[in-house]
Amino acid sequence: MALKVDREELDEFCPRLFRVLDHLGLLPLYLGAKPNEFEKYPRQLFGSIQRYGDVEASFREWEGRVLRDAPYRKEEFYPELETLRQWMMEHAVVFGNKVNMQHLRTSLYARVFQYLYPRRVLVNAYCKQHQGNPGALEPEFVAHKLPDSVAEAVQKVRDVFQDDWETIVADARTSLLANVGYYRKMLSGQAPLEAVEEPVETEIPEEE
């Protein structure tokens, strides 16, 4: 009998993986980045699993690469890496299913873009709204003004992602404060703002 994709488990796994990588500064801040920049670290993990056939060994190897490459906040977000490892160990059978791994590879770009899109649009709208105000990157200001100060600009995005909106806002705040240097350039006009577009629908392949 043909194996089926464990969609429920994969739909839970991917945001966990992407959140850790984003918090460690290993996912693009710019939505116009090349696909391989979005896919690099997830594909490394999938490759390790394929090579070793063992979730624990695969994760430990991948974790070492991730921590070497992460530009900041390694100690702060290490517990998130450990939580991800534990989740993967508890669901090891999912990663032993070749159909699941193939599905992850073919759906990866759509999944990571869908995850990042509302977070980057929210941050970009915030920077556009507060351009010229360097104080907009102060933690207290961010906590008070994001997302209320850009509510109208991101309403359509909020409508599409309403079930996860509180988490998206929290992640957007984390990104702003973790990448102050990058976003300060946007606020000062030294770096371009991405256009806040209509919400995009990304197709995640269906597999039987």
Residue spans of the chain under pLDDT 70: 1-2, 195-208
- In terms of DSSP H, where are the helices of the chain? 7-23, 35-52, 55-69, 74-90, 92-95, 98-129, 139-145, 155-160, 165-178, 180-188
- Give dist(CA 165, CA 156) in Å, integer: 12
In a domain, residue 200? The reply is no
pLDDT tens digits for range 3-28: 789 999 999 999 999 999 999 999 99
Return the pLDDT at 208.
45
In a domain, residue 206? The reply is no
In a domain, residue 194? The reply is no
Enter the tokens of residue 95: 């990663």
In a domain, residue 68? The reply is yes
In a domain, residue 107? The reply is yes
Range of the domain at 107: 7-188
In a domain, residue 202? The reply is no
Return the pLDDT at 189.
82
In a domain, residue 25? The reply is yes
- Give dist(CA 165, CA 151) in Å, integer: 12
User: What total of structural domains would you count in the chain?
Assistant: 1
In a domain, residue 128? The reply is yes
